[in-house]
Chain A
Amino acid sequence: MVAASIGGALFLLGLLLTFRTPVLIGRLLPLAAMAAGSLVLVAGVASPERAGTVTVMALTVVPMLLAARWLEVRLDRDRDAPTSLDEQPR
């Protein structure tokens, strides 16, 4: 039950992010959250005895999502700077 709830929450988070992060990794982040959420949902419903571990596995995506969002915010901050990967680092 707990696992299914976490899975559902992750899925909703992904859905929400779809509308909130239009740039850079915004296309992939929601997909990641939704995929992890779906996995936990299925595990939580179909195989409750393994749901706990699957939840832990899926939740490891969250730090990745947070780090990606942090990078996105930092990139947005100097949007006017050149975007090429070949520019000279400061």
Chain B
Amino acid sequence: MTGATIPGTLLFAAVALPALGAAASWPLRGRVRSAVVAATILASAAAALRLVVTIARHPDAATLELTGPAGLTVPLVADGLAAALILLVALVGTAVGVHALLEDRAGSPRRHPGHWPLSLLLWSGLTALALVGDLLSAYLLLELIGLCGALLVTFRGGRAPLLAGARYLVAELVASLTMLFGVALVWWQAGTVVYSELAAALADAPLGWVGLAVITVGLLVKMPLAPLHIWLPAAHTQAPSAVSPFLSGVMVKAAVLVLARLWFLSTPDLLTEDAARLLGGMGALAVVWGGLTALRSTGLKRLVAASTVSQLGLLLLSVPLVAAGALQGWTGALVLVVSHGVAKAAMLLAITCMAESAADAEVVLVGDGRPPPMGHDPQLHRLSGSATRRPVALLAFGIAALSLVGLPPTGGFIAKWYLLLGAVALERWWVVAVILLGTLLTAAYLTRFLLQAFATPEEDPPARAWDGRDVVALLLATSTLVFGLLPRLLVDLAQVGAPVMVS
């Protein structure tokens, strides 16, 4: 490691610890495996949080170079963007991991032997992706992440998860090949794939711009952005309860990170106003599409999957703001990355607990596939009385819902506030309108669920119940309150290595 202003051992630990845990947990079974997984989760989270704090203390982005065997070098970037993803992975990874370990301890059906190795490998891959400073490494890590994600979806057992995983894999394959061609084109034109060298190298290379556009299309499929999201609802719905939160909260941000690094931090001059407006327009479409789909969804996991499509659109709405020089857009997007991820994961952990106490857990989670007429849901009524049955889980859901809607005092509110500040400063009133419409839609589909949870059940409500898993969901949801009450935590982090746009 050369040129390090951040200890190399810390970077290595943040990436290597989960990977080592993945390798160690592979041959193990039973309590020994659980102990190794628990130790890995705690150690990895501690290393990740230490790294985030170290990055936050630096005024600028730190660039480093990892020298491997045979003189192979991998450039690394430790900036606010990287820190945001690493923080999100650590928070959600820890909560989901502990939730799953408690589920195993409570005697839930046997977990697939590949679950822990692939989950920990995913953690390692996402952390590495946040730090790498070249397109080639990013491509390879996105491949690893996509493969792990698609296989994890199938681990629930049964034909439907297999089909969902297969669809996911095909979408990943198409996206990867598209990106591969784009990277090859950029490399041919620029002679480099290092982010920091692309701007100068592509200045007089028209085909390089085409390469960047092709990469962008591949990344939008990987995200996925509506209407390229056809694989997402099935994959997120059919995934096991210990996988969905990671998919919906964290994995969808992987492609966003590469997109942001590519357009804002390496080739900002190449992003024309029209291109930025096009991406923002696609984001606006996703906000409305996802919101309306969520309103008509049967099953809670379907509802949450549609909500993810909508929230990803909100992230893209920041593109025209940042491209026009409004740093508030960048700050809002970064806060949204973390607060949405945490809230979405907490929500999914909470609904797993609530569905357990419902009349038919599977129907409540997955739905029956028949879209109900607007305003009437034949499945959510099964959740009546959840407020009495699982109050702690419902509280976690409620806090997460506040953040998704964007109400104070949550991280979601801070994110939307900064996005609105940027839009108003630039007088982009259509962005303001879409954010407000998205907020109304989010409030509508989440209220639909909350009303059912507080409704009185027809039969006598069973006894009040909660366990450690409900508490884990609540603790994760509470972190969105921390980001709302102490906004400088994320806002200051976003300024480390923030883009300087020429507008």
B173 / chain A contacts, CB cutoff of 8 Å:
28-29, 32, 61, 64-65, 68
CA distance A39 to B156 in the complex (A): 36
Stretch from B79-87, B160-168, B208-216 forming part of the interface with A: B160-168
Q: Is B246 an interface residue (CB 8 A)?
A: no
Q: How far is the CB of A38 from chain B (nearest CB, A)?
A: 10
Query: Which of B136, B147, B157, B366 has a CB less than 8 Å from the CB of A86?
Result: B366
Contact B159 A83 (CB under 8 A): yes
Say whether A57 contacts B169, CB under 8 Å: no
Q: How many A-B residue pairs have CB under 8 A?
A: 106
* A-contact bits for B160-202, CB 8 A (1 contact / 0 none): 1111111001101110110011011001100000000000000
Given A47-B188, A68-B169, A75–B162 Cβ distance below 8 Å? yes
Let me know if B181 and A39 touch, CB within 8 A: yes
Query: Is the pair A64, B143 in contact by a Cβ cutoff of 8 Å?
Result: yes
Contact B143 A89 (CB under 8 A): no
Check: B363 CB closer than 8 A to any chain A CB. yes
Q: How many residues of A contact B (CB 8 A)?
A: 38
Is B48 an interface residue when CB atoms closer than 8 A count as contact? no
The binding surface of chain B is classed by DSSP as: helix
Complex Cα distance A63/B363, Å? 34
- Considering the complex, give the chain B residue whose CB is closest to the CB of A47: B188
16 A-B contacts, Cβ less than 8 Å apart? A25-B169, A29-B173, A35-B181, A36-B177, A53-B136, A54-B184, A57-B139, A57-B140, A61-B173, A61-B177, A64-B173, A75-B166, A78-B159, A84-B160, A85-B163, A89-B366
Smallest CB-CB A-B distances: 4 pairs: A86-B369, A90-B158, A60-B143, A89-B158
B159–A67 contact, CB under 8 A? no
Q: Which residues of B contact A54 (CB under 8 A)?
A: 184
Q: Number of contacting residues on B, CB 8 A?
A: 41
Min distance, Cβ B470 to any Cβ of chain A, angstroms: 23
B161 — which chain A residues lie within 8 A by C-beta?
89
- Given A47-B188, A50-B187, A64-B143, check contact A71 B162 (CB 8 Å): yes
B479 at the interface (CB under 8 A from A): no
Q: Are the CB atoms of B166 and A68 closer together than 8 Å?
A: yes
Contacts of A75 in B (CB 8 A): 159, 162-163, 166
Bound Cα distance A28, B366 (Å): 28
For A29, list chain B residues within 8 Å (CB).
173
Chain B CB within 8 A of A20 CB = no
List A64-90 residues whose CB lies under 8 Å from chain B: 64-65, 67-68, 71-72, 74-75, 78, 81-90
Residues of A within 8 A of B139 (CB): 57, 60
B238 at the interface (CB under 8 A from A): yes
Cα A23 to Cα B333 with chains together (Å): 41
Is the CB of A58 closer than 8 A to any CB of chain B? yes
Choose among A32, A56, A84 the residue that contacts B369 (Cβ–Cβ < 8 A).
Answer: A84
Residues of chain B within 8 A of A6, CB atoms compared: none
Given contacts A32-B177, A67-B151, A89-B160, contact A57 B136 (CB under 8 A): yes
Interface string of A1-38 (1 = CB under 8 A from B): 00000000000000000000000110011001001100
Chain B residues whose CB sits within 8 angstroms of the CB of A71 once the complex forms:
154, 162, 165-166, 169
Do residues B169 and A58 form an inter-chain contact, with CB atoms below 8 A? Answer: no
Verify if A43 is at the interface (C-beta below 8 Å from B): yes
**Chain A residues in 8 Å Cβ range of B154:** 71, 74
Nearest B residue to A63, CB-CB: B147
A25: chain B residues at CB < 8 Å are 166, 169-170
Are B150 and A85 in contact, CB atoms less than 8 angstroms apart?
A: no
Q: A28-B174, A71-B166, A81-B159 are in contact. List 4 more A-B contacts (CB 8 A).
A: A60-B176, A68-B169, A74-B154, A74-B162
| B60 interface hit (Cβ, 8 Å) | no
Partner of B157, one of A57, A87, A90: A90
Query: Contact string, B116-134, partner A, CB cutoff 8 A, digits 1/0?
Result: 0000000000000000000
- Residues on B with beta carbons closer than 8 Å to the beta carbon of A88: 160, 362-363, 366
Closest to A89 in B: B158
A64 in contact with B176 given A39-B181, A86-B367 (CB within 8 Å):
yes
Q: For the complex, what is the distance from the CA of A74 to the CA of B159, rounded to whole Å?
A: 9
Instruction: Assess whether A57 is in contact with B184, with CB atoms less than 8 Å apart.
Output: yes
Q: How far is the CB of A4 from chain B (nearest CB, A)?
A: 15
Closest CB in chain B relative to A75 CB, distance in Å: 5
